Structure 1
């Protein structure tokens, strides 16, 4: 069962296209003998209907939190430009290096200089995996801290300490004073 997350004439950001649009129609997908629609798509006049996870409101676009449903960070392999596969046979995946895509376009994200990759390829591979998993880890840390805040009497002291550490990590990441201009 689905409920509409957006309404007609609402301005939304269409992530796959990378532009703002106005919802022209809410398109429910009905199934026989069901009281509510199975899915809801949105027509924004761009040639196809979009799912709610492909759209975001102006308010959400300005938030500084990571939503793992929206943030689909992943590691892609890119060919080495500075060395051939034979020259770097000892690397985890010879002839390539990792790039973490953190945006909706394959061009955006995290890269490492070739020299640094050559010095410690295993370390850079681990960094790429950790960075790609960051949105999910942020949600996990937030859930742990929230659960501990609401149920302190039900948790052992060790878990409360972990929850405090999780809260401190999230707070330090979200602290805008440390962010350079």
Structure 2
């Protein structure tokens, strides 16, 4: 018994011909006394009918590359030209301020207003290091989650708890679901 996998007018990739085509007609082969067709073939206008395993559906939504895989954030030092305190010795890097760069052209990213940097330069330097390394922490979190999922019986309890926390953090980053409140977690235990 077979059921139609594709429909008329659907764009499909025809594997034997290595090209894209539109299904012009769906041809079910019926047998008397049987409720479903024995076989379903698809006419794509390429000279012969194709079966479902020879076709592949077009992806509806193009997949965006994951930030964790494609980006590499880093700290770039910008010259602090406008500040009268540009050579202030209390600054960790006198005459400059950090810019966390998130693209290869060195323009996109995180910048801090000069007044805020002058107020507490050590704190801003620390924040820039946290932001620049956030993707690395996300990679570690993802690997921890995958390890715990692949080896649930061999993973120690504390590591499982850390994997659950990492999963909640990544869910919050990707807005998949709101992480449970702390009091709800405590009540569940």
TM-score grouping bracket, smaller chain normalisation = 0.5 to 0.7
Tell me what 1:127 maps to.
127
RMSD, matched Cα: 2.3
**Is the radius of gyration larger for structure 1 or structure 2?**
2
Q: Per chain length, whose mean CA-contact separation is higher, i.e. which structure has more relative contact order (CA < 8 Å, sep 6+)?
A: 1
* Paired residues for 1:4-15 under 5 Å: none
Q: Structure 1: give runs of 5+ residues left out of the alignment.
A: 1-57
CA distance in 1, matches of 2:86, 2:172: 43
- Asked if 2 retains the 8 angstrom alpha-carbon contact of 1:72 and 1:102, the reply is yes
Q: What is the DSSP-based 3-state SS (H/G/I as helix, E as strand, rest coil) of the residue aligned with 2:68?
A: coil
CA distance in 2, matches of 1:145, 1:86: 45
Tell me what 2:139 maps to.
139
TM value normalised by structure 1: 0.59
Q: What is the DSSP-based 3-state SS (H/G/I as helix, E as strand, rest coil) of the residue aligned with 1:137?
A: helix
Tell me what 2:153 maps to.
153
Q: How many pairs are equivalent?
A: 119
Over 3 Å counting, the alpha-carbon distance change for 1:112 and 1:59 in structure 2 is same
TM value normalised by structure 2: 0.57
Residue 166 in structure 1 maps to residue 141 in structure 2: no
Q: What is the DSSP-based 3-state SS (H/G/I as helix, E as strand, rest coil) of the residue aligned with 1:152?
A: coil
- Asked if 2 retains the 8 angstrom alpha-carbon contact of 1:84 and 1:95, the reply is no
- Asked if 2 retains the 8 angstrom alpha-carbon contact of 1:75 and 1:129, the reply is yes
Q: Deviations over 1:124-173 (max 9, x none)?
A: 11111111112221111011011112212111111111111001000110
Tell me what 1:66 maps to.
67
Q: Deviations over 1:91-121 (max 9, x none)?
A: 0000100001101211111100111111111
Tell me what 2:10 maps to.
none
CA distance in 1, matches of 2:85, 2:145: 45
Q: What is the DSSP-based 3-state SS (H/G/I as helix, E as strand, rest coil) of the residue aligned with 1:100?
A: strand
Segments ≥4 residues shifted beyond 3 Å:
84-87
Displacement of 1:59 after TM fit?
A: 3.6
